[in-house]
Amino acid sequence: MTSILITGTLCFLLGLILGMFLTVLCQAGSERDNIYSSLTLIPIEAGEPRLDSHCLIQTEEDGDHLLLAEYADDGWTLIDYPHIREFTVKGWCYTPEPIREVDA
């Protein structure tokens, strides 16, 4: 009788710990997703970014994808596809600042 009680208690605790682990794992995933969902694209009609800035852009040709681009004097350049020059930008937003190491 005592061994059944101990086994039941251990199974309960193991299930509780596993449930807490899965909850934390799901929250971490949703926080990661929220980083990107909080970026708001600015319609190109509303204005253009600062010169020499890196942005995420949405093009008319590639409507569901965001591409990295640089905006300079000569217009937009796709970071990963610099040879492609013919595209129309629908919206843009600045890329987040990279993590900088702090000197201790």
pLDDT in tens, 26-69: 665 555 555 556 678 899 999 999 998 899 999 988 777 889 99
**What pLDDT score does 25 carry?**
59
Q: Please give the model's pTM, rounded to 2 decimal places.
A: 0.57
CA within 13 Å, CB half, 54: 8
Q: Would you give the distance in Å from CA 68 to the centre of its chain?
A: 13
Strand partners, 91: 43, 58
The domain spans of the chain are 1-38, 42-94
Under the phi-then-psi rule, with left for phi > 0, alpha for psi from -120 to 50, and beta for the rest, what region is 71? Answer: beta
60-95 burial, b if ≥16 CB within 10 A, otherwise e?
Answer: eeeeeebbebbbeeeebebeeeeeeeebebbbbeee
